[in-house]
Amino acid sequence: MKTLASYSIKGGVGKTACSVNLAYAAAEAGNRTLLVDLDPQGASSFYFRIRPSQNVKPKGFFTKQSKIENAIRGSDYPRLDVLPANLHFRKFDQLLGSLHKARNRLRDALARSADQYDIVVLDCPPTIGLLSENVFMAADMIVVPVIPTTLSERTFEQLLTFFRKSGYPAQRIVAFFSMVQSNNRLHQETMRRMQSQYKRFLNTVIPQSTDIERMGTHREPVLCYAPSRPGSLAYRHLCEELLRKL
């Protein structure tokens, strides 16, 4: 089982769209896939029309396998299951602070389902706290969407600094440019600069696209309702590139 986390300190960069489409494409490629929605807003669960998991509270999430097992829902697509979020998940950091071995709890919880899945995709909330540190410990790859703007660049640098200072393996971080506008000069300049500065950027670029924005209306991955549109093709390439690297 390999774990991919879609993570960024910054909100609104396309983490959930990445998680949802990545999980869908991984399952479509033949992998038994679990999408874990860690964000209390539950956006990725919403995209799959799955209701919040009311019975899963933070303590049960990390300590009782049966709680997770019972909360997992089959999606409408082959080989793809979803562990939906709920509002209780906002208390993850608070609870983790009270547990022993607080940074390994997520890794241990996921390991219990290792025989059921080939790929686990974590959709993470835009925070940097104990839950995020659990994600850094659990994930084989931390996939960071970066909008090529100054603020996104700054938060990406903050993340790298945090990894260096805290001793987390920075080689697990891979980044890709998200919501890119091809006719935006600032975007193009930022991409060129960041690509020359950091070797960890993937070749795939996800364009700014109304097709992707419509996921909320369709409540399904863009790969389902617009499979041959540029946004979908980009997500498919992203998945292929990531699976090759895993």
Residues that bind another protein (CB under 8 A): 29-30, 32, 34, 48-51, 70-76, 78-81, 116-117, 219
Nearer to another protein, 62 or 77 (CB): 77
Q: How far lies 136's CA from each of 5, 69, 191, 195, in Å? A: 8, 23, 25, 23
Nearer to another protein, 29 or 99 (CB): 29
Nearer to another protein, 26 or 142 (CB): 26
Q: Minimum Å distance from CB 102 to another protein?
A: 29
Q: Which residues contact 4 (CB under 8 A, 6 or more apart)?
A: 22, 119, 120, 121, 122, 139, 140, 141, 143, 242, 246
Longest dimension (CA), the chain: 51
CA pair distance 141, 158, nearest whole angstrom:
18
| Structure token digits, residue 8 | 């960024």
Q: Minimum Å distance from CB 152 to another protein?
A: 33
DSSP code at position 39: -
Please tell me the number of Cα atoms within 13 Å of 17 on its side-chain side: 28
Q: Minimum Å distance from CB 177 to another protein?
A: 29
Q: Minimum Å distance from CB 224 to another protein?
A: 12
Backbone angles phi, psi at 223, to 5 degrees: -60, -20
Q: Minimum Å distance from CB 87 to another protein?
A: 18
Nearer to another protein, 15 or 79 (CB): 79
Q: What is the residue-wise DSSP string for 147-162?
A: -SSHHHHHHHHHHHHH
Nearer to another protein, 12 or 30 (CB): 30
